[in-house]
Amino acid sequence: MWERLRSIWTVPDLRNKILFTLGILLAFRVLANISVPLTQAEFAKLVDLFKPGSNDPTSQVFNLLDVFTGGSLDKFSIVGLSVYPYITSTIVMQLLQPIIPALQNLSTQGEAGRLRFSQITRIITVPLAFLSALGNCALYQQAGVLTGFSLFDPNYALETWSILLTLTAGVMILVWLGELITEKGIGNGISLIIFANIVSRLPQFITQGYTTASTGGSNGIVSIGLFLIIGFLTIIGVVYVYQGQRRIPVQYPTKRNVGRGMLVGSAQTTYIPLQVNSAGMIPLIFASSMLLFPTVIAQYLTTSKTGWLAATANFISTTVLNPIQWWYWVMECLLVIAFTYFYAYVLWQQQQIPENLQKQGAFIPGYRPGEPTNRYLNTILNRVTLAGAMFLGIVTFMQYFTRVGGNQLFTAASVLIVVGVVLDTVRQLESQMVMRNYSGFLS
């Protein structure tokens, strides 16, 4: 392994790519530690809001959101929204592609169409980032972190709009840095930024684990042990499922010359790889957003002056949609399974594999081109997706048992992102080494 790492470092352009990627990630972590200006009293409220072990519903919601942003919310960072508005925009564009013919036509226009599609995605990201900033600041205001927050009050409008525009600009800066990594560095830039967010919380996880084990007695040790076991098994399962695929053999007709003017028909055999988890982390983001959105709205309405509305919102936030309760994770588990099927079929319809096979004259042995092939592939997709959906659902529910010291230390999406980014980066390093006539990074 050390010899492989040394061989990577001896390739000048590959070394420059790695250093460039690390430099961009370092700049990102510097930005993540620059907070929005707060008074001393507001900063004290911010610390109390993210205090470990708090059972306050508002703190629980913020701690859950903080896991997704990689610890930027507890600092009220200028890049506290991370790149999730951009991810949401990307998901929306993918879902709209089969519905809007103009977007679907962009996929057939090559590089120019891809660039136009990316430009539209970035444009949609701006209002989504602004709305996300507005929602988070409203929650901060309710928690007492922002005491002077008003869009139209002349005394606070300038400060309020400055915070909202700064948070929105922070999202777009991270998108720009991610695209720089993708273009000039190693790996997918957006994924690496999220990866850096998650990994940056490791010291905090270790500190909380040590505190729980030292102050909680035997219960604390059992909690830490259960967390480590579940985390280890989850990582192994994610690696196994992430690389799992069902290979369907496909034959392509070819012809070759065997003499003067003589052609002999033959068939070239390849395969279609159907991934067990073709949807990736998208169902987890969908499910979490579906539950977090009404939770955030309910938290905001608990201070309503209308008695019945405040009572209903308080019941929803403390009982129905409280992350501490086991049924919250059951609901998220069911949503993850449903969204896994939904997104897998959306991706499958966009690929149009049966139609492309028929146009190329290819066929699956034992099945006629056209509708029979389509039915066979849909059957295989159903079975493969069932395994992936059940796995994601189980991993989602297991988060209920990974609370240490009253805090949700990791989410299923975080584990999927970390494992996926590591595997993808290793593959890219492997391909870069092979292109340069080296034996490879893994071999």
**Single-letter amino acid, residue 380:** I
Residue 174 lies inside a defined structural domain of this protein = yes
On whether both 55 and 114 belong to a single domain, the answer is: yes
116: CB partners within 8 A, 6+ apart: 106, 109
**Per residue in 248-305, pLDDT tens?**
888 877 655 555 555 555 567 788 888 888 877 778 777 777 777 777 777 667 767 7
20 assigned to some structural domain:
yes
Q: Report yes or no: 291 and 328 within 8 Å, Cβ to Cβ.
A: yes
Question: Is 431 among the domain residues?
Answer: no
pTM of the model: 0.76
Is residue 166 domain-shared with residue 259, that is, in the same domain?
no
What does the alpha-carbon distance between residue 351 and residue 174 come to, in Å, rounded to a whole number? 30
SS3 103: helix
Q: How confident is the model at residue 330, as a pLDDT?
A: 87
Q: Residue 301: CB partners within 8 Å, gap ≥ 6?
A: 309, 310, 312, 313
- Cα distances from 183 to residues 27, 123, 180, 190, in angstroms, run 17, 20, 5, 11
- Do both 280 and 189 map to the same domain? no
- For residue 76, being part of any structural domain is answered with yes
- Cβ-in-10-Å burial (0-12, 13-18, 19+) of 347 comes to middle
| Domain of 72, in residue numbers | 14-197
Cα–Cα distance between 404 and 415 in angstroms, integer? 17
**Residue 155 and residue 303 in one domain:** no
Same domain, 263 and 387: yes
Q: Residue 93 sits in a domain of what CATH number?
A: 1.10.3370.10
The domain total for the chain is 2
Structural domain ending residue among the three candidates 138, 164, 197:
197
Q: Are residues 76 and 146 in the same domain?
A: yes
CA 315/CA 440 separation, integer angstroms: 57
* Residue of higher predicted confidence among 14 and 265: 14
Reported as a single tens digit per residue, the pLDDT across 420-439 is 778 778 777 777 777 766 55
Task: Give pLDDT tens digits for 58-87.
Answer: 666 666 666 666 556 777 888 888 888 888
Rounded Cα–Cα distance for residues 294 and 298 (Å): 6
Are 403 and 294 contained in the same domain? yes
The yes-or-no verdict on residue 375 having pLDDT over 80 is: yes
Last residue of a domain, one of 169, 197, 225: 197
Residues 280 and 367 in one domain: yes
Q: What is the mean pLDDT of the chain?
A: 78
Q: Are residues 19 and 156 in the same domain?
A: yes
Indicate whether 138 and 256 sit together in one domain: no
